[in-house]
Structure 1
Amino acid sequence: MKKAGIIMIIGALLLLGLFKFPLWNIMLGAPQYPEPLGMNIYIQGIEGVEEFDLQNIDGLNHYIGMKTIPKAEEMWEFSVFPKVIIGMVILGVIIGLLGYLQKVSYKYFLGWFILMSILGLLGMYDFNNWLIDYGSNLDPNAIIKVTNPDGTPMSYKPPLIGYQKLLNFDVDSWPHIGGYLMFVGMTLTIVAFWVGKKAGLKKTTQ
């Protein structure tokens, strides 16, 4: 269990990378922009990939009636998410330490993973709802109005993940370094569970 406890601690600590690196990245490329415009989404707010990217994206969005990209203080998520991550890191380290000291079962490692997975899915659901509102709740007095073939207003919702063509823009939405660190950290907690389970089975057969 000592080895499993150490792996669990490392896995939980990797979540701290979310405070340094972006969780997600959205890039917009078009013929009129030799360098794509992009925004990095952190758990504390949204920043442009380059200095004036957010300003340029807001300028383009204005013509089709989209809202401006929200500042950190305008979304409750950016104040709640950091607290959730810190709480999960502390909980993961405590479980890892108790596992190292053989005070808790390896099943607690799996419990942490399940809880983190639920929180992650809720976060993705909330993020997708924001994208829907961002791309669909348009100003009816916008300068440019584009409709679908059936006459309904066109949605400019960026993809939650993957590639999508929006008018003349190529939009890519993928996890960034922070997201991959979180994935690796969560994977390590599953590894800790299996290592702990193996150690427990070995102990019972001796």
Structure 2
Amino acid sequence: MKKASILMIVGPLFLLGLYVFPLWNIMLGAPQYPDPLGINIHIDGIRDVNEFDIQNIDGLNHYIGMKTLPKPEEMWEFNTFPKVIGLMVFLGSLIGILAYLGKLSHKWFLGWFLLMSVLGVLGMYDFNAWMVDYGTNLDPNAIMKLANPDGTPMTYKPPLFGHTKMLNFDVTSLPATGAWFMFTGMMLTIGAFFLGHKHQRSNKLFT
């Protein structure tokens, strides 16, 4: 159980990578941009991949009526997410320490993992909802008003995951380094649960 507890202590600490590295990355490539434009989405704001990328993306979006990319103070998520991640790191490591001291069972490891999974799903849902609003709630007075072949207004929602074509832009949306840190930490905690479960079964066989 000691090894499982140590793993549970270490796993949540990987989430601290979200304070340093971006959670998600969206890139836009087109013939007129030899170097693709990109944004990195952090838990506390949106930043350029290269200098002036956000400025250039906002300039392009202005023509088709899309809103400018939000500043940290314009979205409650960028204030809330760092606090939630900090709380989950503290809670997960505390569970691991208490289990190491024999105060909690390995079942608490699974509870933390499930709670973190629910929060992750809710975060992705919120992220997707923001992109839907960003790509479909267009200014009716935009310079360019483009329509689909069936006559409906064209929307510009980036994909949540993967690649799509928007006008002459190739848009790719994928998890970034911070997401892989989070994934690794969560896998360590589920590994800690199974290790603790195996230890408990072994103890029962020999008692």
Counterpart amino acid of 1:101?
L
Aligned partners of 1:41, 1:202: CA distance in 2, in Å? 45
Partner of 2:129: 129
1:196 and 2:196 aligned: yes
- Give the corresponding residue for 1:61: 61
**Which ranges in structure 2 are unaligned for 5 or more consecutive residues?**
none
Report the equivalent of 2:179: 179
| Offset from partner CA, 1:74-133 (integer Å, 9 cap, x none) | 000000000000000000000000111121110100000000000000000000000000
TM-score by length of 1: 0.99
* Structure 1: segments with no counterpart, 5+ residues: none
Q: Share of identical aligned residues, percent?
A: 68
Secondary structure, aligned partner of 1:190: helix
Q: Which runs of 4+ in 1 moved over 4 A?
A: none
Are 1:43 and 2:56 matched, yes or no? no
- Equivalent residues, number: 206
**Counterpart AA for 2:51:** E
Deviation at 1:203, TM superposition (A): 1.0
Distance in 1 of aligned mates of 2:184 and 2:153: 40
Q: Counterpart of 2:98? A: 98
SS in 1 for 2:105: coil
> Could you tell me which residue of structure 2 aligns to residue 20 of structure 1?
20
TM value normalised by structure 2:
0.99
Matches of 1:86 and 1:130, distance apart in 2: 23
**C-alpha separation in 2, matches of 1:141 and 1:2:** 64
* Aligned counterpart, 1:70: 70
Partner residue, 2:111:
111
Q: Give the partner amino acid of 2:161.
A: I
Distance 2:181 2:56 in 1: 30
